[in-house]
Chains A and B, each alone.
Chain A
Amino acid sequence: MNRYSALAWASIAAGLAFLFVVPLLPVSLPYFFYMMFWITMACAFNIIYGFVGYLPFGYVMFYGVGTYVTAVLWSRFHVPIPAAILASGCIGTALALAVAPTLRLRGIYFAIVNFAMAMVLRILVANLPFEWSGGSFGITLSRAYRPLTSYYFMLGLMVLSGLTVLWVSRSRLGVALRCIRDDAAAASVLGINVPVNRLKAWMIAAAIPSVAGGIEAWFTAIVDPATSFNMMVTAKTIVYAMFGGLGTVIGPVFGAVFMYGLDDFIWGRFPVLNLLVLGLMIVFLILFMPRGIAGTALRKWPRLRQVVK
């Protein structure tokens, strides 16, 4: 381990230790909960877009399904919350498997179809029988409200998703995925089973936001179709991950921490113009740092490769 790696691991350990004691400190618990939520989402998104090159514009659907599965199982079937969250992950993964044939599409066609599927799901959920999904009013989980426990669940999921990305990046699967992203035909000529490896990445990338959705539903104790299938979830996930540096392990973490902080700061200072200011900043950042923080750093200091990737 060189000094850069040692420094990176020490920083990560310090960051995790801080997040662990956040509930004991006089700071905003929701702020750090959502920071971890966005880190988790950006890391998971990185697996399918950063490593495989597929842009799921309807990525929110996995998060949305996760929130509803947890809420419905707990409120209608009295399933304990941890089991309901686990079920969210399973059903989100099953949904990914069901829509896997769309992976045959590429580029903007895949993005559009995925976006359409998220919209269809939102309408479907809103129109389920009222006794099930609560219609457009949604479901409240006030009796299950445990912000502290759900905070630690999110911390655990964030660590798990970070380790998953690290494993994917360093494993044969990661090598296969990067080859598929760069040249799928060349990858298959080398003997890489493109559909199977792509599917593995897709299912991992779906499971994580589904679980995150379940935990977030528990934290807020309310779900409704407008929030659970809000396209801003996809947009922010993309921007945060992209800003940090897609295809790297550490990039989306940086991106989510920085951009979420910036987003929160702008929202606090410019409550009316926050989206405009944020949009301008994103344009500025993408124009001058199209590879994101990690990508730009990697280009300037190639020796950081083993830390960043």
Chain B
Amino acid sequence: MAILEAKNLTVAYYGDIHILKDVSFCAREGRVTAVIGPNGAGKSTLLKALYGLLKPISGSIRLRGEEITECKVHEFIRMGIAYVPQLRSIFPELTVKENLELGTWIFKTDKARVRDAIEGVFERFPMLAQKQGDPAGLLSGGQQKILEIGRSLLTGPSICLLDEPTATLAPRIAAQIYATLEDLKSEKITIVMVDQRVRQAFDIADYIYVLELGQNKADGTRQDFVGRLTETIKGWLD
């Protein structure tokens, strides 16, 4: 069942230079949807548009059938959608625990709920519990990404948008993040991920969208892509 759907999205950063042109997209409930494509394809832009960080020139975005195109960014987390951007979004001068507390902003002053949510993240990522008193800026790149993912899960979202969660990370750390995504998948959390590591994204995804030059190039289930993934990637190198 479609949970997050975009129809005919056209998005621009400046004027009439369209980064996405008439792109359509659908994330199914409890499934992992991967968006792949070469550099400049508009993958991150699609995620930003889905999360309201960029308002489309035309097209619509629906959550469980309800129009959310004009919703403000700060409302998305209250609607059960979490977003982990590609670039670092932690607050480096704050401690790990303070960063996590910020992730519970929408709980306001409900201290018991905040404590429970943070405990849940500490159970999932014991490293964060060990480093909870350290300034987040002192964590390694991989640890910071884990902190961002942990923070995004604090409010119990039903949908997670992850923009290149393993970019620039060492293979061992990347493997740990993919394992976490597998866990989230088993918990029936809907995941939409943009990834440059096509092979790993392919392994975890249930449905795949290929974007090229800001347009839908192909889409289908993982089975649909078996045997033609290499050919698809080769096309980007030509």
Q: Which residues in A have some Cβ–Cβ distance to B below 8 Å?
A: 172, 175-176, 178-179, 182-183, 185-186, 188-194
Which residues of B are found within 8 Å of A176, using beta-carbon distances?
105
Known A-B contacts A175-B102, A185-B85; A193 and B91 likewise in contact (beta carbons under 8 Å): no
Known A-B contacts A193-B74, A194-B74; A179 and B91 likewise in contact (beta carbons under 8 Å): yes
Which residues of B are found within 8 Å of A183, using beta-carbon distances?
89, 91
Please tell me if the beta carbons of B105 and A189 are within 8 angstroms of each other in the complex.
Answer: no
Which residues of B are found within 8 Å of A172, using beta-carbon distances?
108-109
Interface of A is mostly: helix
Q: Which residues in B have some Cβ–Cβ distance to A below 8 Å?
A: 51, 53, 72-74, 76-78, 83, 85, 89-91, 93, 102-103, 105-106, 108-109, 151, 155
Which residues of A are found within 8 Å of B93, using beta-carbon distances?
182
Which residues of A are found within 8 Å of B72, using beta-carbon distances?
188, 193
Q: What CA separation (Å) do A298 and B60 show in the bound complex?
A: 49
Q: What CA separation (Å) do A172 and B89 show in the bound complex?
A: 19
Known A-B contacts A182-B91, A183-B91, A185-B53; A190 and B85 likewise in contact (beta carbons under 8 Å): no
Please tell me if the beta carbons of A190 and B53 are within 8 angstroms of each other in the complex.
Answer: no
Please tell me if the beta carbons of B51 and A190 are within 8 angstroms of each other in the complex.
Answer: no
Q: What CA separation (Å) do A176 and B74 show in the bound complex?
A: 12
Q: What CA separation (Å) do A194 and B52 show in the bound complex?
A: 14
Q: What CA separation (Å) do A183 and B109 show in the bound complex?
A: 22
Q: List 25 A-B contacts (CB under 8 A).
A: A172-B109, A182-B91, A182-B93, A183-B89, A186-B85, A186-B89, A186-B90, A186-B91, A188-B53, A188-B72, A189-B51, A189-B73, A189-B77, A189-B83, A190-B102, A190-B103, A190-B151, A191-B74, A191-B77, A191-B78, A191-B105, A191-B155, A193-B74, A194-B73, A194-B74
Q: What CA separation (Å) do A172 and B151 show in the bound complex?
A: 18
Chain A residue nearest to B83 in the complex (CB) = A189
Q: What CA separation (Å) do A169 and B70 show in the bound complex?
A: 32
Q: What CA separation (Å) do A114 and B51 show in the bound complex?
A: 32
Known A-B contacts A175-B102, A179-B102; A188 and B73 likewise in contact (beta carbons under 8 Å): yes
Q: What CA separation (Å) do A277 and B156 show in the bound complex?
A: 59
Known A-B contacts A175-B102, A179-B102, A194-B74; A189 and B89 likewise in contact (beta carbons under 8 Å): yes
CB distance from A51 to the nearest CB of B (A): 14
Which residues of B are found within 8 Å of A175, using beta-carbon distances?
102
Which residues of A are found within 8 Å of B74, using beta-carbon distances?
188, 190-194
Q: What CA separation (Å) do A172 and B106 show in the bound complex?
A: 11
Q: What CA separation (Å) do A59 and B51 show in the bound complex?
A: 35
Which residues of B are found within 8 Å of A191, using beta-carbon distances?
74, 77-78, 105-106, 155
Which residues of A are found within 8 Å of B76, using beta-carbon distances?
189
CB distance from A301 to the nearest CB of B (A): 16
Which residues of B are found within 8 Å of A193, using beta-carbon distances?
72, 74
Please tell me if the beta carbons of A185 and B102 are within 8 angstroms of each other in the complex.
Answer: no
CB distance from B55 to the nearest CB of A (A): 13
Which residues of A are found within 8 Å of B105, using beta-carbon distances?
176, 190-192
Q: What CA separation (Å) do A188 and B81 show in the bound complex?
A: 13
Q: What CA separation (Å) do A191 and B89 show in the bound complex?
A: 13
Q: What CA separation (Å) do A186 and B91 show in the bound complex?
A: 9
Q: What CA separation (Å) do A178 and B73 show in the bound complex?
A: 18
Which residues of A are found within 8 Å of B53, using beta-carbon distances?
185, 188-189
Chain B residue nearest to A186 in the complex (CB) = B89
Q: What CA separation (Å) do A193 and B106 show in the bound complex?
A: 10
Which residues of A are found within 8 Å of B51, using beta-carbon distances?
189
Please tell me if the beta carbons of B85 and A189 are within 8 angstroms of each other in the complex.
Answer: yes
Which residues of A are found within 8 Å of B77, using beta-carbon distances?
189-191
Chain B residue nearest to A183 in the complex (CB) = B89
CB distance from B233 to the nearest CB of A (A): 31
Q: What CA separation (Å) do A114 and B105 show in the bound complex?
A: 31
Q: What CA separation (Å) do A185 and B85 show in the bound complex?
A: 10
CB distance from A171 to the nearest CB of B (A): 11
Q: Identify which of B72, B73, B83, B90 gathers the most chain A CB atoms within 10 Å of its CB.
A: B73
Q: What CA separation (Å) do A194 and B74 show in the bound complex?
A: 8
Q: Identify which of A175, A185, A188 gathers the most chain B CB atoms within 10 Å of its CB.
A: A188
Q: What CA separation (Å) do A185 and B77 show in the bound complex?
A: 13
Closest 6 A/B residue pairs (Cβ): A186-B89, A188-B73, A191-B77, A191-B106, A191-B105, A193-B74
Q: Identify which of B74, B78, B151, B155 gathers the most chain A CB atoms within 10 Å of its CB.
A: B74
Known interface pairs A175-B102, A186-B85, A191-B74; 5 further A-B residue pairs with C-beta atoms within 8 A, sorted by A's residue number: A185-B85, A186-B90, A189-B89, A190-B74, A192-B105
